[in-house]
């Protein structure tokens, strides 16, 4: 899962990637293997530590026969009940799951078969199929059913049978949990994968697929992959054939705004089965940083196009939402469609937002947009 709470320490023993629930209190010996034991500074544990998945020490690591790390000033960011990955080879701890968060997400793979101009998580050509085993282990360690859970990447469908195993296990353990998978949809052009995924029968599984233009040339340019448009459209139809629920996402930037109105008409006329259309503000991460001049357009400068696109869909009874856009940059006619969509660990408000009367209902900004954002950010006082 991709939650950016990490820390580095001094490893002890061999290199391992270990998963467990965080605890600062002793647990019964027979379940210690499910736990990462945190030893606060100055504490001498009364119980033997050798049965835990890993042990983390504030201060120097003790000499014990179990993988662990020490040298931390503080491990306060590790709350009891969190699920953590302890990577002793990299000397790193990463929080993978927080029970109180509505934004827990499996980071399925670093690999991707597209290379989008605005990708916030640039792909890597690595062998990371081992992540499937880790994802399945996290599912086992989750104690209470979450309301929602995400699957993202990279491109999750590249896991193929591994993805089927993950979705199947989620269905078995948490059949009422909503599962949203972010995918470019290209692998859905292969009907056997769609058929197998639909056969899992998860009642609340939804695939979110981006579409950036009503034509191949423009879409393929944005995703930097020739033939992607044709594969994606084929994938949409395969999903519809096998009753696999899908939505469309459109990232709004200078390369997609000019074709936004033809695109929403294309969606309405050619993809009538999609459950929802999300029009999304730009996140200043990954490739966006180097492609900023190519991509950036202030939302206030595409206000007319955005209002026309939303109105078009709404009047035709297509569910539509606006993600990642603060209320102050939108026309009031669009506030009804705006969602608080930014994950809690990425979400910020600026000094300009102090005293805003609609802040409690606003998406705010990405943390990465603290210094690069719309000129229209201000407190709404009226």
Position 4 scores a pLDDT of 38
Cα 311 from Cα 270, distance rounded (Å): 18
The pLDDT confidence band at residue 70, using thresholds 50, 70 and 90, is: confident
317: left (phi over 0), alpha (psi -120 to 50) or beta: left
Position 15 scores a pLDDT of 53
CA distances (Å), origin 329, targets 121, 128, 300, 304, 325:
26, 40, 6, 12, 7
Cα 72 from Cα 74, distance rounded (Å): 5
Cα 203 from Cα 312, distance rounded (Å): 30
Contacts of 217 (CB under 8 A, 6+ apart): none
The structure tokens 């990405």 sit at 366
Task: With a cut of 50, say whether residue 49 has pLDDT above it.
Answer: yes
Position 1 scores a pLDDT of 38
Position 8 scores a pLDDT of 52
CA distances (Å), origin 217, targets 55, 155, 220, 255, 280:
53, 22, 5, 12, 21
Residues of the chain with pLDDT > 70, as a percent, come to: 96
Other CB atoms within a 10 A radius of the CB of residue 306 amount to 23
Average pLDDT, the chain: 93
Position 364 scores a pLDDT of 95
The pLDDT confidence band at residue 91, using thresholds 50, 70 and 90, is: confident
Position 98 scores a pLDDT of 97
The pLDDT confidence band at residue 69, using thresholds 50, 70 and 90, is: confident
Q: What would the pLDDT profile of 140-172 be if each residue is shown by its tens digit?
A: 999 999 999 999 999 999 999 999 999 999 999
Q: Averaged over 354-365, what is the pLDDT?
A: 95
Cα 240 from Cα 313, distance rounded (Å): 20
Task: With a cut of 80, say whether residue 34 has pLDDT above it.
Answer: yes
Q: What would the pLDDT profile of 302-334 be if each residue is shown by its tens digit?
A: 999 999 999 999 999 999 999 999 999 999 999
Q: What would the pLDDT profile of 248-279 be if each residue is shown by its tens digit?
A: 999 999 999 999 999 999 999 999 999 999 99
Q: Averaged over 289-310, what is the pLDDT?
A: 98
Cα 191 from Cα 180, distance rounded (Å): 20
Other CB atoms within a 10 A radius of the CB of residue 33 amount to 12
Position 73 scores a pLDDT of 83
Position 22 scores a pLDDT of 98
Q: What is the 3-state secondary structure (H, E, C) of 251-317?
A: ECCCCCHHHHHHHHHHHHHHCCCCCCEEEECCCCCCHHHHCHHHHCCCHHHHHHHHHHHHHHHHHCC
CATH code, residues 6-97: 3.50.30.10
Task: With a cut of 60, say whether residue 244 has pLDDT above it.
Answer: yes
Cα 313 from Cα 327, distance rounded (Å): 20
Residue 347 belongs to what H/E stretch? strand 347-348
Q: What is the DSSP letter of 76?
A: T
More confident position, 33 or 43: 33
Torsion angle defined by CA atoms of residues 363, 368, 372 and 373, in that order, rounded to the nearest 10 degrees: -10
Task: With a cut of 60, say whether residue 184 has pLDDT above it.
Answer: yes
Residue 90 belongs to what H/E stretch? none
Sequence ranges of the domains in the chain: 6-97, 105-369
Predicted TM-score of the model (pTM) = 0.92
Indicate the class that CATH gives domain 105-369.
Answer: alpha beta
Residues of the chain with pLDDT > 90, as a percent, come to: 86
Distance of CA 57 to the CA centre of its chain: 30
The structure tokens 């995924």 sit at 197
| Residue among 122, 171, 130 nearest 149 (CA) | 171
| Residue among 369, 332, 376, 331 nearest 347 (CA) | 369
The pLDDT confidence band at residue 67, using thresholds 50, 70 and 90, is: confident
CA distances (Å), origin 318, targets 218, 245, 250, 265, 322:
24, 15, 15, 11, 13
């Amino acid at each position: 899962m991709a939650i950016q709470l990490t820390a580095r320490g001094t490893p002890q023993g061999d290199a391992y990637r270990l998963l467990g629930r965080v605890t600062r209190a002793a647990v019964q010996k027979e379940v210690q293997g499910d736990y990462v034991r945190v030893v606060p500074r100055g504490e001498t544990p009364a119980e033997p530590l050798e049965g835990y998945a890993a042990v983390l020490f504030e201060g120097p690591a003790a000499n014990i026969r179990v993988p662990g790390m020490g040298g931390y000033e503080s491990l306060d960011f590790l709350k009891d009940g969190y699920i953590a990955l302890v990577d002793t080879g990299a000397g790193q701890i990463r929080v993978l799951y927080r029970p109180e968060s509505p934004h827990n997400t499996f980071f399925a793979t670093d690999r991707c078969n597209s290379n989008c101009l605005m990708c916030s998580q640039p792909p890597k050509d690595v062998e990371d199929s081992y992540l499937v085993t880790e994802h399945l282990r996290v599912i086992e360690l989750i104690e209470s059913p979450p309301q929602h859970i995400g699957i993202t990447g990279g491109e999750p469908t590249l896991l193929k049978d591994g993805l089927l195993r993950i979705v199947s296990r989620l269905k078995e353990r948490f059949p009422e949990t909503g599962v949203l998978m972010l995918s470019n949809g290209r692998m859905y052009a292969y009907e056997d994968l769609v058929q197998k995924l639909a056969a899992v029968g998860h009642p609340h599984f939804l695939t979110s697929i981006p579409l950036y233009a009503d034509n191949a040339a423009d879409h393929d340019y944005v995703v930097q992959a020739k033939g992607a448009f044709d594969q994606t459209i084929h994938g949409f139809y395969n999903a519809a054939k096998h009753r696999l629920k899908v939505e469309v996402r459109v990232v709004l930037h200078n390369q997609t705004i000019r074709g936004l109105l033809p695109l929403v008409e294309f969606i309405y006329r050619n993809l009538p089965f999609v459950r929802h259309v999300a029009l999304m503000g730009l996140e200043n991460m990954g490739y966006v940083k180097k492609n900023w001049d190519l991509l950036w357009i202030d939302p206030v400068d595409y206000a007319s196009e955005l209002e026309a696109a939303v109105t078009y869909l709404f009047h035709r009874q297509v569910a539509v939402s606006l993600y990642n856009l603060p209320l102050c940059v939108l026309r009031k006619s669009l506030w009804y469609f705006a969602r608080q969509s930014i994950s809690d660990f990425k979400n910020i408000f600026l000094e300009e937002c102090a005293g805003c009367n609609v802040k409690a209902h606003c998406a705010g900004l990405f943390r990465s947009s603290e210094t690069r954002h719309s000129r229209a950010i201000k407190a709404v006082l009226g």
